[in-house]
Structure 1
Amino acid sequence: MHVGTERKQRLGQVAAMLRADPRLRDRYTRAKAIVRAFRRPAFYEVATRCNLFCEGCYYFADDFAPPSREVQDRAAWEEFFAAEGERGVTMAYFVGAEPALEQERLIAAATHFPHGNIGTNGTIRLDPAIPYRIGVSVWGVDEEVDTSLRGANAFAKAIRNYAGDPRAIMLYTLTRTNLGDVRRLAEICRDHDLPLTFNMYSPTQSYARKIAERMGPDGKYFRISSEEDNLRWDDDSLAAARRVMDEVIEDFPETVVYSHAYNRWATQSGPLYDIDPETGIARDCHSRMVEPMRYFKTDLEHAALEKCGTSDTICSECRMYSGGWSSKFEPRDADVRDTAAFGEWLDMIDTLGRIFLIERNEAVPDVRTGSVFDFDDPTATHGKRMELTK
């Protein structure tokens, strides 16, 4: 069946459920508003340096090479971001090695996009003038675990830097080795007024090759792993992760920002996506770099990537939260089979909004003028509206 026909059928099922149960309509209206925030996304690599050495790093693959001409001038960055705002970008993802090392570039972007999301390791506090959602990466609570996975005790610094910051959400990267820290982390986040969500470690080609070749420690991004003991998931550890996540969702409802339905999906056995047998690339992952999504490196040039922003990641083993959540933007057949399944999809979209967005009714300072940038001002949004149904 043609993709367009399948989509029309799903939307027809949604419309029928909304007619049968009008109580779903407000939730669906909110879901559409959340999805619209992502209708024209772009990734901006603002840093090629990092102050940590995370085991199996996504960014520093074996063939890593920074752009030969990195733009240093802040005015050039601001001019670039202004043009991107005019292009209609609604969600700006600020990535790289460690964006907090290049804060002038983040400040240059601050007035040009209605929504933004910054991935940081939390060791350096981001300037209060930066108005976007901050995903603070956490790998371990215990100092020994954290240091073994990241090369330093980053967690303690992250808590000091972001406790009570309404921009921040703690992003815990789950691995087979750190599931035991989840409950303790939830307690710490609760006590420091920080929401908590989860990523699942996804191996790169570089990491898998080093394991397969039984390489010894390299002193940087491959220090503790071996063929017998590494970060890759198996069925038993996936089942354990599912149990732990379900428990903390229930026990910390004001702190943990996660979804039972998403947890079931992310911890299922085998690939999460439809994998092309010839290329090994996921055909239905919505993190794929296809229009209107674009990726820019620090030379400010549009990078034509083969698949996604973490191109070294193995698609068949990928459980990264970025690709997972973006692949939930549109309901699939399983999400519209009945009212209960559709309700779970609505819950996932609501959770997605809480993870990636600052509430749209929150005003943030315009760092250039001191005025207020109104997220609800219709003149501040651009591009085509993503309609899920009429």
Structure 2
Amino acid sequence: MSSTRRSRLARLASLLQAAPHLAPAYEEAKRVVRAFRKPAFYEVATRCNLFCEGCYYFSDDFKPIKDVEDIGTWDRFFAAEAERGVTMAYFVGAEPALHQDRLIAASRYFPYGNIGSNGTVRIDPAVPYRIGVSVWGVDADTDADLRGGRSFHKAIRNYAGDPRAILLFTLTKTNIGDARRLAEIGRDNGLPVTFNMYSPTQTYLRKLTEGEGNDRAFFRISSTGSNLLWDDESLGEVRRTMDGLIEDFPDTVVYSKAYNAWATQSGPLYDIDPETGIARDCHSRMVGQMRYFKTDLQQGNEKCGTSDAVCSECRMYSGGWSSKFEPRDVDLVSEASLADWLEMIATLGRIFLIERDASRQATLAA
């Protein structure tokens, strides 16, 4: 154990001793973090039915690979991964709902899972994992502009009342005004709402820098003068908007003021290696025991769960929340800062985890 970690643990113990009322929340935080003790990412699809502006998946260097088609091979692969001790499985790719047989196979083996989906195809109720239903706009024109097609209302019809689903609104400078309406729709349809902040990819930044013309796929509306990049003014607007929604929709909006303050601060959120440009302290990195597998079931060389993302510009929810698993020095300054960290971990659990028994409600309702 490093001296830094020993020092933090000592400070944590001291704070808990001085504030024993925080002990139950700390025990719950440990339970939540244990679910993520050995995560892995699995691409289950390399095709999608939408064309999101600045897509995270289809990058400059995207090269189609030959999928393993045999579901028995997938089943054996997931069984081996479970034997390796994977506790949290992230199912990613272009659109995982287009290969549901692979999701069903995985559900036999992993205690926790999280699926990123655009919501246009309902995932079989037999899959007992959290489904982050990606939303980019409520207004029909905004939805179509940012996704290449109108998908929002179809997603609501597919997942209204489904205990597995949480609406994941990707915030951009162009859709902040939709956030309150989304909270209202989530409330009225039995769907919790959380937030992601658009983070540019290397591909997107290159197209902006080089003044590349718009296309009919993943760069339809952006230009050097009008794009999705954040600035201090828009970050401030997001911070104020999210804080207001947390207060006004406590039973629907699953977010944290402490996390919101961190995610909307000016400048890079991570310690960036000046030579490589890669974040050294992001817990979505493929380091240690973390693995990323492609649809040929071979381990990929991705730097993180969203490999094309620019680390110095990244505010993505996956990397952000995973980087909160352990308290840092700033979280251990006072009782108040520790309480904020504990609240962030409780929120993280609500965003990413559902107990498998809860998902049976979806099966019964189908």
Same fold (TM over 0.5): yes
Aligned to 1:7: 5
The one-letter amino acid of 2:211's match is R
Give distance in 1, aligned partners of 2:64 and 2:105: 21
| Per-residue deviation, 1:291 | 2.0
| Per-residue deviation, 1:304 | 2.6
Structure 2: unaligned runs, 5 residues or longer: none
Give the TM-score normalised by the residue count of structure 1: 0.91
Deviations 1:342-378 (A, max 9, x none): 000000000000000004764759x9xxxxxxxxxxx
1:173 matched to 2:170? The reply is yes
The one-letter amino acid of 2:220's match is R
Please, which of 25, 32, 53 is the counterpart of residue 55 of structure 1? 53
Deviations 1:293-327 (A, max 9, x none): 1000000011132x212221110000000000000
Give distance in 2, aligned partners of 1:205 and 1:105: 30
* 1:185-224 alignment runs, 5 A limit: 185-224=182-221
> Structure 1 stretch 15-24 or stretch 33-42: which is displaced more?
15-24
> Structure 1 residues 55 and 164 mapped into 2: Cα distance closer, same or farther (>3 Å)?
same
Judge conservation of contact 2:164–2:359 (CA < 8 Å) in 1: no
Judge conservation of contact 2:163–2:359 (CA < 8 Å) in 1: no
Deviations 1:184-203 (A, max 9, x none): 11001000010000000000
* 1:59-208 alignment runs, 5 A limit: 59-67=57-65, 69-208=66-205
Give distance in 2, aligned partners of 1:23 and 1:292: 35
Give the TM-score normalised by the residue count of structure 2: 0.97
The one-letter amino acid of 2:269's match is L
Aligned to 2:288: 291
| Per-residue deviation, 1:66 | 2.1
- Runs ≥4 residues deviating over 2 A: 359-365
1:336 matched to 2:332? The reply is yes
Aligned to 1:381: none
Give distance in 1, aligned partners of 2:12 and 2:64: 46
Give distance in 2, aligned partners of 1:163 and 1:364: 15
Aligned to 2:352: 356
Q: Secondary structure at the match of 1:261?
A: helix
Please, which of 207, 226, 240 is the counterpart of residue 237 of structure 2? 240
1:24 matched to 2:22? The reply is yes
Aligned to 2:314: 318
Aligned to 1:255: 252
Percent of paired sites with the same residue: 69
Q: Secondary structure at the match of 1:23?
A: helix
Deviations 1:135-175 (A, max 9, x none): 00000000000000001111010000000000000000000
1:327 matched to 2:362? The reply is no
When the two structures are aligned, how many residues end up with a matched partner? 363
| Per-residue deviation, 1:212 | 1.2
Aligned to 1:386: none
